[in-house]
Structure formats: structure tokens, C-alpha cells
Structure 1
Amino acid sequence: MKNLKPILGLMLLAILIFTVTSCRDTKKEDDHEMDQDDMEMEHDDMEMNDSSMNSSDNMAMDQNKSESDAIVVNYLELKNALVADNTEAAASSGKKVVSAFKAFDVAKYSEEEQKELNDIIEDAIEHAEHIAESAMDHQREHFEILSKDMADLVAITGTSKKLYQAYCPMFNDGKGAIWLSEFKEIKNPYYGSKMLTCGTVQKEV
């Protein structure tokens, strides 16, 4: 019996140590699982925030493109009127271009882009107003500069429409002039029926 007591004591001590160790391991596992759950929740929250931000950015970009698209549509209408040698239609489209430019909101762009856009808009409005009041020859002269403004505008704002930048080497005493078109086929707005197919496509916008 004397030898049995120390043995029982050691067994109890071993059981106690085993129990404490097991509890600690279990706690560690629980803590580890909780940490993993917390990390997964944080990751999900971050993904949701990123998705929300991307969605907002995309909506803002779509809105910007929608506003520039309104200008592009009226510009293309003007271009087609010049292709058709139609002075009255070109004048009417010129007025629409003026209104579209005046309605364009630059506030959504960076400070540097706003400065560029304001310069473009001011110049474009001036030339579109002249187109609305001029004879065909002068309409085409002002259309040349308006087309440069349009190319600069689209380079900043983008557009949802597929456009082609075409080039006429003959216009402006051989100095050449660009225009934007919805067609890859050349239909020259600077000469209309006189030289309808004069020009080449420089690039897709």
C-alpha cells in the first residue's frame, strides 16, 4: 500500500497535466479558427467595398461617356450634312453642337483635365456657332478646327461609340485636315460630292 500511493499520485498528476494541455490545445485551435473566420470576413468586406467602389467608378465613367456621346452624335450629324453639301442641315446641326457642348459638365474630371476641357469647349462652341451662321465654304473651314477639338475631347472623355479618324490631304491649301466618322468608308465632309472619297483612315478611336 505504501508503494501504491506515490504511483497513484503520479497518475493523477499526469492526468491533470494532460487535461490542462488538451484544454490549451483546444483553445488554440478555437482561437485559430476564430482568427481565420475574422480574416475571411474582413476579406469579404474588402471585396464588397472594392466592388462597390468599382461600380461607382464605372457608373461615373458611363455617365461621362454618355455626355460626350451626346456631343459626338450632333457632331456626326453635322459631318454628314457637310458630306451631303447641305448648308441648312449643317447650320441646324451646328446649333445642336453648341447646345451639347454648353451642357457638358467638366466637374467630374481632374483639375488638369477640367482646364483642357474648358479650353476645348470654349473653342468648339465658337466654331460651331460660326457653322450655324455661315455659308458652306466657311462651314467647312470652321469644321476643320471643330474636328480637332472633337478629337481632343474624345481623347480625354472617351466614348462608347466606335469612331474612325480620317484625313484629307487636299484641304486647307494642301495642309490637310482630319475628321471623325462612324464609318470606315471615306465620305469627305470637306469637299462633299466634288471629292467624296478623297482621304484615308488614320486610326480607330
Structure 2
Amino acid sequence: MKQLKLTLGIVAIAFITLTAVSCKENKNEHNNADGHHDTDKTEHNEMMGNDEMGNSDKMMSNNNQDAKAEVIIKDYFELKNALVSDDTKKAADAGKTLVASLKAFDSSKYTAEQQSELNDIFEDAIEHAEHIAESAMDHQREHFKILSKDITDMIAITGTENTLYQQFCPMYDGGSAWLSMSEDIKNPYYGSKMLSCGKVQKEIN
């Protein structure tokens, strides 16, 4: 009987000891796992912070370097909206404004090759904007087609801080593209006649 009690006592002590050790090891493993997770989380936060800082710096750079390009883009959309609304006078006024903003652009911050390309683009764009400022609606739309290509080519060099959409009408003049700040189709080539004719070709930026 005494032998049995002694044996049971030893077994009980061994069980308690093993349980305590096991709990301690599990706690350490849990802490280590938590520590690893925290490290990963810290690294993730640091990476996110760096990305956000990079994007912020990029946007600031765009604001500083491309402010006049953004003015040109804004004036282009004023013209496009006038054509969408079938408003010849507003389109003519927007054409005049666009001529001024195109002439005010400073390309000196770009490379020699980019300056040459931009000068060619602006020379052509100014000519078409001037025609729009002096023409009837049908001719305004004809010149707007080529002007849209010029502005698209400009953006390929200067970039833009906004998301734009290149849209396409298969019906006008064998197929014609334009830029928009919205995915919604509002056709500047037909206006109210076929306002929703077209599709999004691609997203820019």
C-alpha cells in the first residue's frame, strides 16, 4: 500500500513538472511567434511608409515640374466639354485659351530630345487650336481630332497627376480618339446626336 502511494506520488509530481515545462515552452513559442509577427508588421509598415513617401514626392515633383502641362490639359477639357455640348462659341473661346496656355509652356526642364518633340507637338497643337477659335462646329471637331493626338503625345512626355481615359469613336472620320477624366462616354465629335457613341481604349496614369 505504501509502495503504491509512493508510486502514485512520483507519477503526479512528474506529470505536474512536465505540464509546467510544456506550458512554459508553449508560451515561449507563442511569444517568439508574436515577436516575428510584430517584426513583419513593422517591416510592412516601413515599406508602406516608404512607398507613400515616394508617391508623395512624385506628386510634388509633378506639381512643380508639370504645372503648365496640367493647365493645358484643363483647357483641353474645357474645349472638349464645349464640343460635347454643341456650343460653338464656348469651343472657340476655349480654343483661344488653349492657344495661350500652349504658348506659355516652358520645356527647358526636359531633355534636348524631349524639348524637340514637345516643340513639334506644340507647333501643331497651336495651329489646330487657332483654327478651332475661328471655325464653325464641324471644322472645330475636325481640328479637335488632331489636337487630341497632340495632347496625348504631350502627356506621354510630361505625365499627368490625374487618371485619364483615352476614348474612341469608330464612327467619326474612320475612327477618332479623345481624352476624358471620366470613364463615361460623352462624345465630342457628335455631341447630342450620338452622345454615348464610343468606348474606353485605355487608362492613362
Deviation of the 1:61 alpha carbon: 3.7
Q: Equivalents in 1 of 2:152, 2:162: separation in Å?
A: 13
Instruction: Report the secondary structure of 2:66's partner residue.
Output: helix
Bigger radius of gyration: 1
5 Å matches for 1:1-205?
60-172=61-173, 175-205=174-204
Q: What is the CA–CA distance in structure 2 between the aligned matches of 1:73 and 1:191, rounded to whole Å?
A: 21
Query: When the two structures are superposed, what TM-score results if normalisation uses the length of structure 2?
Result: 0.70
Q: Work out whether residues 77 and 180 of structure 2, in 8 Å CA contact, stay in contact via their aligned partners in 1.
A: yes
In 2, distance between residues paired with 1:75 and 1:62?
18
Residue deviations 1:172-205 (CA, integer Å, cap 9, x gap) = 1xx2111001111000000000100000001111
Q: Output the CA distance in 1 between the equivalents of 2:133 and 2:187.
A: 20
Question: Alignment length, in residue pairs?
Answer: 150
Residue 62 of structure 1 and its aligned partner are, at CA, apart by 2.6
Equivalent-residue separation in structure 2 for 1:58 and 1:106 (angstroms): 19
Kept in 1, the 8 Å contact 2:85–2:191? The answer is yes
Q: Return the alpha-carbon distance in structure 2 between the equivalents of residues 89 and 191 of structure 1.
A: 16
Q: Distance in 1 between matches of 2:149 and 2:59?
A: 27
Q: Distance in 1 between matches of 2:59 and 2:188?
A: 35
Preserved contact between residue 187 and residue 198 of structure 2 (Cα < 8 Å) = yes
| Matched letter for residue 195 of structure 1 | M
Residue 65 of structure 1 deviates from its aligned partner by: 2.2
In the alignment, the residues of structure 1 paired with residue 202 and residue 71 of structure 2 have an alpha-carbon distance, to the nearest angstrom, of 22
Equivalent-residue separation in structure 1 for 2:65 and 2:133 (angstroms): 26
Give 1:60 deviation, angstroms.
4.9
Q: Aligned to 1:180, what secondary structure does the other structure show?
A: strand
Partner of 1:13 in structure 2? none
Instruction: Label 1:168 to 1:74 Cα distance change in 2 as closer, same or farther (>3 A).
Output: same
Alpha-carbon distance, 1:64 to partner: 2.4
Runs of 4+ in 1 over 6 A off after TM superposition: none
Q: Which runs of 5+ in 1 are unaligned?
A: 1-54
Offset from partner CA, 1:111-146 (integer Å, 9 cap, x none) = 000000000000000000000000000000000000
Match for 2:143: what amino acid? H
What stretches of structure 2 of length at least 5 have no aligned partner? Answer: 1-56
TM-score normalised by the chain length of structure 1: 0.70
Q: How many angstroms apart in 1 are the aligned matches of 2:59 and 2:124?
A: 29
Note if contact 1:66-1:159 (Cα within 8 Å) is conserved in structure 2: no
**What SS is found at the alignment partner of 1:132?**
helix
Q: State how far apart, in whole Å, the 1-side matches of 2:175 and 2:62 are.
A: 33
- Asked if the contact 2:167–2:185 (Cα under 8 Å) also holds between the matched residues in 1, the reply is yes
Between the aligned partners of 1:198 and 1:58, the Cα distance in structure 2 is 34
